[in-house]
């Protein structure tokens, strides 16, 4: 028996670093939105727990979040059997897309099926939160949520009576540079006052208002320290993108467009550019809710 589970990436629609916490982490305010660029986790029954990966640069030992998730699920539910895991890696890591956390969440979902573990969503969230702050988001069904606290206190976004889905074509561009999240936090001065309501801004779907009010606190320091990220952002701004932003702490930058043709033209321009080296992924706008 072989089971598989997709592990979608996310973008941040705005990101405020509010304050440093006594535990050394930071309180943040952000809107997380799942996108359709995804890794895939596969599992087959085995005597022990092991992991292989299509990307040879990634560790496949205890440092990998998939294996951490597998061991913690097995420990929590006294699972005696094992699993041979394989990670098909497509989403760039250390890019602000949450792919490691999503891989861990997908592993939890996958192994509850393989091992027939009767784990509630709340139990999986508790396990996931010990692995990474974004893991609980990837365990929920809602495509978008406001994340506060460390990023693991979630309020699913709704708009017009249904789950919020991004209504604009999105072009994601990832330069070949990694950005360390711990380093990025050292570059930001937290600020908790006079911050706009991110949920209200996002649900307005007003792109001129987004340009004025939807900010990512990591953007300025990352652009200053990483010329390749700054070059990608500049390249997207030179297209017909109506809104451009860093995702998470970077290095991924995305542009939102009013028309699919403009998004496709922007992707073509990035691919033909001699000044930027990126991996790009184009996603259509969500279909209107019925």
Active-site positions? 10, 134
Backbone angles phi, psi at 156, to 5 degrees: -55, 140
Cα–Cα distance measured from residue 70 to residue 222, given in angstroms and rounded to the nearest whole number: 33
Cα–Cα distances (Å) from 91 to 71, 96, 200, 235, in that order, read 23, 11, 29, 21
Cα–Cα distances (Å) from 25 to 59, 102, 190, in that order, read 25, 20, 12
250 burial level (CB within 10 Å; 0-12, 13-18, 19+): buried
SS (H, E, C) 248-288: CCCCCEEEECCCHHHHHHHHHHHHHCCCCCEEEEEECCCCC
Q: Return the sign of the alpha-carbon dihedral for residues 59, 63, 64, 66.
A: positive
Cα–Cα distances (Å) from 55 to 86, 91, 100, 192, in that order, read 11, 11, 13, 39
Q: What angle do CA 163, 165, 169 make, to 5 degrees?
A: 170
């Amino acid at each position: 028996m072989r089971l598989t589970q997709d592990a979608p990436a996310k973008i941040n629609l705005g990101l405020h670093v509010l304050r440093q916490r006594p535990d050394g982490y930071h309180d943040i305010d952000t809107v997380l939105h799942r996108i359709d660029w995804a890794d895939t986790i596969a599992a087959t029954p085995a005597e022990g727990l092991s992991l292989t990966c299509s990307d040879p640069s990634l560790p496949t030992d205890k440092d990998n979040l998939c294996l951490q998730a597998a061991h913690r699920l097995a420990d929590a539910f006294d699972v005696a059997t094992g699993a041979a895991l394989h990670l098909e890696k497509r989403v760039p890591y250390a890019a602000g897309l949450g792919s490691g956390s999503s891989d861990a969440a997908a592993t939890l979902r996958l192994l509850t099926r393989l091992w027939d573990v009767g784990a509630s969503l709340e139990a999986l969230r508790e396990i996931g939160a010990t692995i990474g702050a974004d893991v609980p988001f990837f365990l929920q069904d809602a495509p978008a949520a406001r994340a506060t606290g460390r990023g693991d206190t979630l309020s699913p976004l709704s708009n017009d009576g249904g789950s919020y889905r991004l209504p604009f074509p999105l072009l994601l561009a990832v330069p070949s540079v990694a950005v360390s999240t711990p380093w990025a936090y050292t570059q930001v001065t937290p600020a908790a006052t006079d911050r706009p309501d991110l949920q209200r801004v996002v649900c307005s779907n007003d792109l001129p208002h987004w340009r004025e009010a939807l900010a990512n606190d990591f953007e300025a320091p990352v652009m200053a320290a990483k010329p390749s990220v700054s070059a990608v952002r500049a390249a997207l701004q030179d297209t017909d993108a109506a809104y451009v932003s860093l995702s998470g702490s970077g290095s991924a930058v995305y542009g939102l467009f009013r028309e699919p043709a403009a998004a496709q033209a922007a992707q073509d321009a990035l691919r033909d550019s001699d000044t930027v080296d990126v991996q790009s992924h184009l996603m259509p706008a969500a279909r209107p809710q019925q």
